[in-house]
Amino acid sequence: MKKEKIPQPTIERLPIYYRCILQMKAEGIRTVSSEELGRRIGVNSAQIRKDLTYFGEFGRRGIGYEIESLIEDIMRILGVTQERRMLIVGVGNLGTALLRHRGFSKEQFHIVAAFDSDPEKIGQEIEEISVYDLRLLDTIIKEKDIEVAVVTVPAKDAQRVVNQLVGCDIKGILNFAPTQVTVPENIKLRNVDLGVELLRLSYHLTNS
């Protein structure tokens, strides 16, 4: 689909660029050079130019990048233009917070269903989103045409839930459970592990 392989670090940085230029737009700025953008984000300006040219030529020599159009271009690259329906498995503290969190279920991602196996929680509504029995996963995913799953279950249940999701043809998973899970390579998996982040912080606090 693409001519040249995009380096993983480039992909990791793109959303950061996107966030930064959105903020600049809000500040009323119209145009930005790679130099200025790099300064704000803390990366080399050549890096930014190179990252962007993997996807096209978005700047004007002597001028810089027009913010309005760069936003549109990066939106297209990231696929932000396409709406995506999302579910949450595990309506504990974190899951509930993410359900309530305005801004998590915003932009293109919409949480449309929640799941738990606790009978106390099943049937509840949180922010107008129904909590379903985990056993209905397959039915509801098909019914509501859901592509993405957020996993906020305890570590011990994570792999089982992920297996279930994979079986239901979910395309992407954002895993918050503090454990390594595996998926077939056609499924996109991203891990967000708060404990691991604390350990990394701990390392830096200890060794400096």
Check residue 179 for interaction with a copy of itself (CB under 8 A): yes
Check residue 57 for interaction with DNA (CB under 7 A): yes
Sole window of 33-41, 133-141, 163-171, 176-184 interacting with DNA (rule: CB under 7 A): 33-41
Among 40, 55, 58, 130, binds DNA (CB under 7 A): 58
Among 49, 84, 110, 171, binds DNA (CB under 7 A): 49
- DSSP 3-state assignment of 204? helix
Q: Taking CB under 8 A as the criterion, which residues in 96-135 touch a copy of itself?
A: 96-98, 100-101, 103-104, 107-109
Among 23, 44, 139, 182, binds DNA (CB under 7 A): 44
Sole window of 49-57, 86-94, 126-134, 171-179 interacting with DNA (rule: CB under 7 A): 49-57
Task: Give the chain's radius of gyration (CA, Å).
Answer: 20
Angle, vertex CA 156, rays to CA 159 and CA 172, nearest 5:
30
Q: How many CB atoms lie within 10 A of CB 16?
A: 13
What is the spatial distance between Cα 17 and Cα 39, in angstroms, rounded to a whole number? 12
Q: Is 131 in contact with 152 (CB distance < 8 Å)? A: no
- Shortest Å, Cβ 103 to DNA: 28
Residues near 84 by beta carbon (within 8 Å), at least 6 away in sequence: 108, 109, 110, 147, 148
What is the spatial distance between Cα 203 and Cα 193, in angstroms, rounded to a whole number? 16
Q: Is 18 in contact with 32 (CB distance < 8 Å)? A: no
Where along the sequence are the contacts to a copy of itself (CB under 8 A)? 1-2, 6, 11-12, 14-16, 18-20, 23, 40-41, 77-80, 82, 84, 93-94, 96-98, 100-101, 103-104, 107-109, 147-148, 171-172, 174, 178-180, 188, 190, 192-208
Where along the sequence are the contacts to DNA (CB under 7 A)? 7-10, 32-35, 43-47, 49-50, 52-53, 57-65
